[in-house]
A and B are shown apart, each in its own frame.
Chain A
């Protein structure tokens, strides 16, 4: 850890957020009755929710200007849980070919942090090819992603602070190895609000087969208000928990109920004039009502063309599941959702990318599931012009060892792994940093999770040192007391 400010001060001149309660208390003053019919009948709110002619406080999720103009307006995070092997995907190592089978057992400098006993150096079971004008080498595990090479900025020298899944996942996704901190998407929606109040600002889609380690701790709003919490979209049925009323309740009846409720609430407000929190609460019923139709429409992929469905791999058994999530991600960002997070893998061992028991069986299967859909997403965003202002983050919690665990597996490697960025503000076709000759440790230009998060915020126009929230007597940051923007990957 290094303190980047010798005097410990941050610059807090960023967008100032006033917690709702605080705002209401500060705003004070009587507002008298509220035109509820106005709220309930049609266009009560602008999409941004900034219209406060009725005297309501602005919603915490209203769009906020960034600290400085950022290229990215929204983010799709694709997270591979379990630890995707860098030496088998984006970081070819000739030395591993040469020294394949050489035992490192007991050799100083090789250890797994007390996990498994190091075996022998193991070459990648997959061949690498150079892709694109930039000639980026990508293994046969991910040929479709390889075909997008010129759009990718690969960071090969990532390091993590933990070699255990959950702390490392928390580290990558919340900035801290311990749970309880706001997720990346929470920080971003706290900083920028959302462009569409009728959908959750921060949407999470987990692997429907098994939950990512650390669970909801990865998209919790931590100490930030619950407004900034990630909302899980389910892969089947209703996208949002409790989204729809019971089937026997027609839309008309539902509207009738809402109007009735509105009138009753109005009565209470009349006897408690000036309680703006009550007025704000009435508004959330309107938002919830809109979310019902808008979220349902957002996940209706039947209207997508056959070509688009094919592009995401919806017609193939292996790719259909993740393809659907990638397509939903596009549909959501298209509709103004600020941050979408997709998870590949969950649970333990071979339910995830955690290839202790054998690289081939594990990574072959996992990569097959995501390669075509991720490439489809990149291509689709590009053809729609959305890649210009959408940032894609492709990450994992750590890499894997260059040597064997058991006979054909690899153990966790927190000293080196690869992630890539693509899209808004990213210089495609670049490689930042490198690992040593066997891929055991980051060598040139080592990059921390703080650096990655600082870069993501920077691309959105947020200064990671100024995006703070006072909690427990401290101005908390996503990047704690570290983080340097990776200038090399910026377009």
Chain B
């Protein structure tokens, strides 16, 4: 039934992809659609061409043969006139008296469609059609297309458009000729397949790409993007001085190989997997080993771990490689979600499992799986039974703290244990003989004090020596590294049930562990034969399905997240919703080409990102062109590189880097930069924040700052670092006065300004002109303009003794410092 809904929606989606004018700006205007054609007659053809796409996109998903919500079916004229609970859908020949028109225009509630008001042009088409008698075409709309929603079909590598003398874009019509067609050479511009796909859409939209950005813009953009820190003036200088054609390529390769790359891109993934160092809820207890999973993620990006392996390890590392510490740590993915530890009852357990199902569905499949907890999904083919099949996959899981030594650590530990043993034996021997002697003298149960007193002087000395040796060796041995992992309670687990309306103690039909049946291969069932030595094998089965080549979503969804980070918007701009209620892709062929290439080349990300960064698409200038912004205000077709706001982490890290204070140490337990006393509080487990020093030990990259669910570091929170309970598909970007207050007055920023000024004084000497140059180079990676320099000189002079520090402080508030063109 759900599939039918999709099939109806799909027709619109696919037709729109090739209908360029429809595409730009998200909706069509009547003027665009009828340009150059005579006023259309309202007939079956008009219906097919104009009305049907609107119905298919916005109405039939719920009011078609499949769903008939409120009893209404708009797929044929007869059914529409028969109507639903609110009466006939329309009065043929009179739009204003038609319920359908009243609801789409907001005259009558509820407003339809519920996901957002129709564009004025679409309402106008409906009005014209209804006023014209509401004719349908002969065939009911439902049979118009028998396609599956694009995202549910495995990607197939599409041909790369070519731009020789003949344009390959034969299926589209070019509404407007490229403005600078005489000077722009498509074949020369296209550097790799990404450019070819992007250019194809640009041309279809009557647009041309922007010119290449300046080299200083490019190095800042690429460096911020790949490692999240500004390039040093020396790096900029070397890049500008390198006039070889490979200069940019070398830059990109250097950045991709930098360990800071993993810190930057690992952080993006940590958003998706709702990473935190505490458990949330009452007490918000610290999870002392959560950071091991964070370090695993950073390392996975740095080593370019194949994504299929990355997925397998996170979902089922304990089942796939039970002896590998790395794989065990990876299951931290399953452990880092919030947990209410005060009470354990079926509702809480169901909430925990919901966290796993919803997060996994969103993170890997880009589906709003959680919507099917209480009922079948309203838009996507996810049955409530599918949801509980997924819950059953995770039903046997539990969190566990385990030792995860490396072989070397294990060896060292065992060696020390072996060293301690004979010493301890000697102590025990002394104790035994003395005890026996004392008991023979009538002491019933000799205490250590009595034993010690009874020892000869020599024995006493030996005793003391042995004890201190054991103590020293035990201290040296320490504890084995620990991690919080997730594994199954055992090889078997009781049968799972649907929970009716999502209520934990209201059990419905039995379900077998599996996934979403409507997706290719998703109808698998995990039986008892899947069990491993210690686990049910259910998660391993899910992981294998997620990364199978026939899975239509995993690669697309992941690459789309990567694309979104680079370009500020996704090819699918709802990164965790590839379903029918999500946005349709702007460049579906490109996404498929990337996904297939990715899977065929071993799921390695760095080559894909290298291709993205080397594309001319990425290297475009970000200047707004009037004609282009009018045609495509949201830059969906990528006619320029957008100016991107830095995330909270990148703002803080950039400040530390510019001041010279950044401690680049990698990994390990989280650090606690000091917070204002008013934010500290006592909880069940003591203080909620362990204030560290405002010094080098906390001047680490923000990915290593404690992520406390009930208290985010204010400097990060104010710049939209999310309160991590659920998976975060895309951070908000807000601009608030509190951000201004933070950059102007927070003790952290003031201290860094001081250090920045000291650095400038040291590196640029006493000449204000040199100081200004150096400070601009450090913050925005370019020399100041003449006007900026003049303003700065005047300011420095006016401020006197505090001038340099005040000047450095002001630069942290520059728009250009937090926005990267």
Q: Which residues of A contact B (CB under 8 A)?
A: 1, 5-13, 16, 19-21, 25-30, 60, 113-115, 163-167, 177-180, 200, 208, 210-211, 213-217, 220, 222-227, 231-232, 234, 237, 240-246, 248, 253, 256-257, 260-261, 263-265, 267-269, 272-275, 277-278, 280-282, 284-285, 287-288, 291-292, 346-348, 470, 472-475
Contacts and interface: CB of A to CB of B under 8 A. Distances in A.
Interface in B116-145: 116-117
Given A178-B725, A288-B741, A215 B813 contact: no
Contacts of B665: none
Interface in B680-714: 681-684, 688, 709-712, 714
A181 to B, nearest CB: 8
B624 interface: yes
Contacts of A248: 802
A242 B688 CA distance: 21
Contact of A241 (B280, B714, B732): B714
B786 to A, nearest CB: 10
B788 A10 contact: no
A241 B630 contact: no
Given A29-B629, A284-B740, A473-B582, A167 B374 contact: no
Q: By DSSP majority rule, is chain B's interface helix, strand, loop, or mixed?
A: loop
A8 B378 contact: yes
B725 A215 contact: no
B769 interface: no
B493 interface: no
A275 B735 CA distance: 13
A165 B683 CA distance: 13
Contact of A288 (B622, B681, B744): B744
B110 A267 contact: no
B734 interface: yes
Contact of B750 (A28, A214, A246, A292): A246
A287 B737 CA distance: 6
A169 to B, nearest CB: 9
B62 A7 contact: yes
A217 B723 contact: yes
Interface in B756-775: none
A264 B794 CA distance: 12
Contacts of A163: 343
Nearest to B816: A268
Interface string B724-768: 111001001111111111101110001000000000000000000
A237 to B, nearest CB: 8
Nearest to A8: B378
Please provide the 6 A-B residue pairs with the shortest distance between their CB atoms, ordered closest to farther: A180-B725, A215-B710, A28-B633, A211-B681, A11-B110, A288-B740
Contact of A114 (B281, B345, B712): B345
A214 B815 contact: no
Interface stretch (B250-258, B573-581, B599-607): B573-581
Contacts of A25: 633-635
A468 B184 CA distance: 46
A1 B501 contact: yes
Interface in B556-588: 574, 576-577, 579, 581-582
Given A164-B342, A240-B741, A211 B688 contact: yes
A21 B733 contact: yes
Contacts of A470: 115-116
A315 B138 CA distance: 83
A182 to B, nearest CB: 10
B224 to A, nearest CB: 16
Contact of A9 (B110, B787, B806): B110
A11 to B, nearest CB: 4
Given A9-B114, A178-B725, A179-B723, A287 B740 contact: yes
A30 B645 contact: no
Interface string B632-669: 01110000000101000000000000000000000000
A216 B788 contact: no
Contact of B633 (A11, A26, A214): A26
Contact of A265 (B503, B709, B814): B814
B284 interface: yes
A166 B629 CA distance: 48
B454 to A, nearest CB: 49
Contact of B709 (A26, A217, A348): A217
A28 B630 contact: yes
A215 B724 CA distance: 13
B555 interface: no
A288 B634 CA distance: 29
B112 A9 contact: yes
A219 to B, nearest CB: 10
15 contacts: A29-B630, A167-B282, A178-B725, A210-B682, A222-B723, A223-B732, A231-B738, A244-B745, A245-B745, A246-B750, A260-B791, A265-B814, A277-B645, A277-B819, A473-B577
Given A9-B69, A277-B645, A215 B284 contact: yes
B744 A242 contact: yes
B711 A291 contact: no
B785 interface: yes
Given A29-B629, A216-B712, 11 more contacts: A27-B633, A178-B351, A179-B338, A179-B723, A225-B734, A226-B718, A253-B799, A272-B624, A277-B819, A278-B643, A473-B368
B371 interface: yes
Nearest to B374: A1
A227 B736 CA distance: 6
A272 B622 CA distance: 8
Contacts of B457: none
Interface residues of B, number: 106
Given A179-B338, A180-B726, A234-B678, A245 B744 contact: yes
Interface string B795-815: 100110010001001110111
Contacts of A281: 735, 815, 818-819
Given A264-B810, A472-B577, A165 B729 contact: no
A190 B181 CA distance: 46
Contacts of B723: 179-180, 216-217, 220, 222
Given A179-B725, A242-B741, A166 B682 contact: no
B791 A263 contact: yes
A21 B501 CA distance: 37
Nearest to A475: B114
Nearest to A282: B815
A291 B724 CA distance: 29
A261 B733 contact: no
B633 A13 contact: no
Contact of A285 (B112, B581, B733, B813): B813
A211 B788 contact: no
A13 B284 CA distance: 39
A272 B345 contact: no
A28 B629 contact: yes
B340 interface: yes
A265 B815 contact: yes
Contact of A291 (B629, B710, B741): B741
A348 B684 contact: yes
A114 B343 contact: yes
A292 B735 CA distance: 17
A285 B739 CA distance: 9
Contacts of B371: 473-474
A242 B742 contact: yes
A12 B103 CA distance: 11
Nearest to A274: B624
A12 B111 contact: yes
B359 to A, nearest CB: 11
A444 B117 CA distance: 41
A240 B676 CA distance: 11
A232 B110 CA distance: 37
Contacts of B718: 226
Nearest to B626: A30
B710 A216 contact: yes
Nearest to A220: B723
B781 interface: no
Interface in B84-112: 106, 109-112
